[in-house]
């Protein structure tokens, strides 16, 4: 598995994914990852420039900046200079309701995936806000933005009656690291009940694909619980999770990479996403002791 994955990354990955792969699975250096991340950073402290392959706009975007924060977290560098720049950017683009928009209007006029729609009103979304907030809580970041974003996320989460997989993942990213563990665990139980009752997880392979998603994009148990200590691990039986991890292992292609399960709206996103998703798959398999 690792031999084929290594070959895939070396043949196909951007410099950033090569450096992340070397750091996470070899003897790579954290500074090399930071250096590879810098070209995607903008003067406002946010990140753009197609770091997130589905948005080709140069300007900073909340979701793209989220990915940068996740990489900084891998390196233990959230509290460094780049992380402080991110906080300044977050303050500058936060909506009046305390949340970050899913797509900032700066993406207007640039190629992007069809789901990267600029909303009619400037308001917060749980997808970037809860994801970023979870990483800041994980790293014990003390900043005024954190309290306002926390209030926004709880208001939105507690009002949920229906949802979609990417919003669920965002909620989990916050719940897994929220300092109020009792409140987080209680809401995670409610969220898991909703995920199962609404058919938002692929357990048998016979579940219908939700509207707006491609075949195979519906999340598996391991997507919701990429680590054994995730709150979402409680949503699934051992047999369900084992079957999910078996499916993840089997999804590795002949060339060593994992596929892009969502719409291939332009050829380059397949080339750029596959090494990224390969790293994600390997991290999940390693967390469950399945890496070989």
Q: What does the H/E/C string look like for the chain? A: CHHHHHHHHHHHCCHHHHHHHHHHHCCCCHHHHHHHHHHHECCCCCECCCCCCCECCCCCCHHHHHHHHHHHHHHCCCCCHHHHHHHHHHHHHCCCCCCECCCCHHHCCCCECCCCCCCCCCCCEHHHHHHHHHHHHHCCCCCHHHHHHHHHHHHHHHCCCCCCHHHHHHHHHHHCCCCCHHHHHHHHHHHHHHHHHCCCCCCCCCCCCCCCCCCCCCCCHHHHCCCCCCHHHHHCCHHHHHHHHHHHHHCCCCCCCCCCCCCCCCHHHHHHHHHHHHHHHHHHHHHCCCCC
pLDDT at 216: 77
Range 149-156 average pLDDT: 98
Q: Is the dihedral of CA 163, 165, 170, 175 positive or negative?
A: positive
HSE-CB for 6 with a 13 A CA cutoff = 10
Residue 228 backbone phi and psi in degrees, to 5:
-60, -25
Residue 207, pLDDT > 90, answer no
pLDDT range class, residue 279, cuts 50, 70, 90: very high
pLDDT at 261: 95
pLDDT at 209: 81
CA angle (137 as vertex; 131, 32 as ends), nearest 5: 75
CA angle (169 as vertex; 172, 281 as ends), nearest 5: 110
Q: How many CB atoms sit inside 10 A of residue 46's CB? A: 24
Model confidence pLDDT, tens digit, residues 96-144? 999 999 999 999 999 999 999 999 999 999 999 999 999 999 999 999 9
Closest CA to 240 of 198, 272, 278, 205: 205
pLDDT at 210: 79
Range 64-84 average pLDDT: 97
First to last CA, the chain: 6
pLDDT at 211: 77
Closest CA to 62 of 156, 163, 151, 130: 130
Q: Exposed (0-12), middle (13-18) or buried (19+): which is 228, by Cβ within 10 Å?
A: exposed
Model confidence pLDDT, tens digit, residues 50-60? 999 999 999 99
Q: Mean pLDDT across the chain, nearest whole number?
A: 97
pLDDT range class, residue 87, cuts 50, 70, 90: very high
**To the nearest whole percent, how much of the chain has pLDDT over 90?**
95
15-24, 60-69, 116-125, 204-213: segment of lowest average pLDDT: 204-213
Range 66-91 average pLDDT: 98
pLDDT range class, residue 213, cuts 50, 70, 90: confident
């Amino acid at each position: 598995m690792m031999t084929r994955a290594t070959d895939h990354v070396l043949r196909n990955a951007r410099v950033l994914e090569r450096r992340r792969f070397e750091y996470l699975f070899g003897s790579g250096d954290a500074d090399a990852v930071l250096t590879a991340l810098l070209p995607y950073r903008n003067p406002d402290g946010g990140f753009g420039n197609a770091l997130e392959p589905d948005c080709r706009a140069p300007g900073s975007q909340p979701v793209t900046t989220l990915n940068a924060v996740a990489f900084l977290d891998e390196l233990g560098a959230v509290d460094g200079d780049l992380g402080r720049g991110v906080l300044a950017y977050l303050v500058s683009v936060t909506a009046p309701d305390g949340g970050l928009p899913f797509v900032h209007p700066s993406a207007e006029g640039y190629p992007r995936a069809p789901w990267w729609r600029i909303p009619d009103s400037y308001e917060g979304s749980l997808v970037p806000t809860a994801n970023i907030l979870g990483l800041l809580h994980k790293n014990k970041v003390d900043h005024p933005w954190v309290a306002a974003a926390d209030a926004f996320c709880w208001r939105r989460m507690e009002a949920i009656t229906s949802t979609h997989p990417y919003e669920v993942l965002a909620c989990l990213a916050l719940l897994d690291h929220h300092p109020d563990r009792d409140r987080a665990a209680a809401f995670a139980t409610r969220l898991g009940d909703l995920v199962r009752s609404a058919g938002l997880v692929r357990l048998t392979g016979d579940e219908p694909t939700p509207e707006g998603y491609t075949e195979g994009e519906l999340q598996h148990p391991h997507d919701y619980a990429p680590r054994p200590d995730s709150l979402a691990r409680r949503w699934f039986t051992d047999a369900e999770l084992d079957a999910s991890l078996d499916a993840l292992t089997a999804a590795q292609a002949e060339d060593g990479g994992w596929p892009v399960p969502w719409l291939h709206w332009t050829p380059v996103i397949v080339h750029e996403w596959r090494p990224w998703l390969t790293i994600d798959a390997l991290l999940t398999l390693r967390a469950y002791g399945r890496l070989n």
